[in-house]
Structure 1
């Protein structure tokens, strides 16, 4: 082995050790734990079984939680995309001063802890929170609106938390679109709406897919905000995993549910990448 190759191995050794100790080893331990049997009387057993995984994919209780989690991820991702796209366009097409100020405003919420932001939404959305009290005081409603402990409150909190990620990923994608392409379409008498749907949107597809995948994965794996704004009754996969480990002490069941969540996330990322590659090739072929 050459000295240059040995030097290269030494360079990647710290990262490799960190990856093994911090990720691969805990994942392997969790994988083995998920295959252990569990009893409420005796705890974690010594025998190996697939019962934990079978229970997750066949029990209506867990299937409802999985469906609710995926629905939450889709809604949060769609809302973030709808809000972030025009905001990213506005930032790019503004003057330098407005652009700098807008980017700072987008980044600023990331400097605040998620727990603090979730507490802020609890103050706003609670049955006797600021929003309901203001509406009741104005005579617009007679009873508090159900803005917490359901899909509504969790969605509002997660959209506010993950919107900056979508904006920051869309800006470079839109920035890479050649300005003369849009200008040429307008010169050829294409309307602004047609230019947007036939040029801007397809060319921004890589940023849209990247931002959507990131926001979706973060949404279905979020714990703090669903637990605080959803309460004990609105359960998603992350909160149920926490319950299995910390309340029920069913570590094998919690580990199995965590691996199912991981597989779902990886499968969706793989599928989205496949679809994105096909669409990108189709757009490139059409343009050529």
Structure 2
């Protein structure tokens, strides 16, 4: 068995696990834009990864800007785009807390980040910089659809999720573990093990990091500080007819954020 690190250097296997809901996610985003935002065609995707949502949105005639810190992910994203999609999509390398494209200021109809990438921002200052920067790019009635798991600080057991996928003849098994939250440090230890087996291949790709933690009150306080209000909230079922009420016990949350006119 060959051991490797950093699953983001292997976008094809990352997508085998997390790329299965692309059409449903873009359907959900378009409905949210029409229901809570402008319904416009200019979209922004922070941390766009390997570009599956960029490609799907561009194929629907939307004008899309995406950015990511990983050049390996961006290379995969550029390679997958058709000539027609390339005319509607622009990709940049940037950190989430640093992206600032002057030509987009006040012109974005919808920004979105659905899969907890926001929790990689490891300090309040970094998270605030990202949210404020995104807010400046939104139209006054634009929305930022931000999905991540809230934290139960009383949790007494680690959490484990397992997925299985395929890439050609390769079999992919993903196991993600989240340790107990550290309340004072506002973080949870994370470990991902991606096992890839196929003809002449047996890889274990193990990545460890910390996710920043948020209770619902902590998240709401941060949004207010960034000049954003919560227009609506949903869960990872992506059912627009079933919004999540404040204080819900479900921890998977998709916040629809809008610039605060006040």
> TM-score of the superposition, structure 2-length normalised?
0.24
Tell me which structure has the larger Cα radius of gyration: 1
Tell me: higher relative CO, structure 1 or 2? Use CA pairs within 8 A at least 6 residues apart: 1
Between Structure 1 and Structure 2, the one with more strand by share is 2
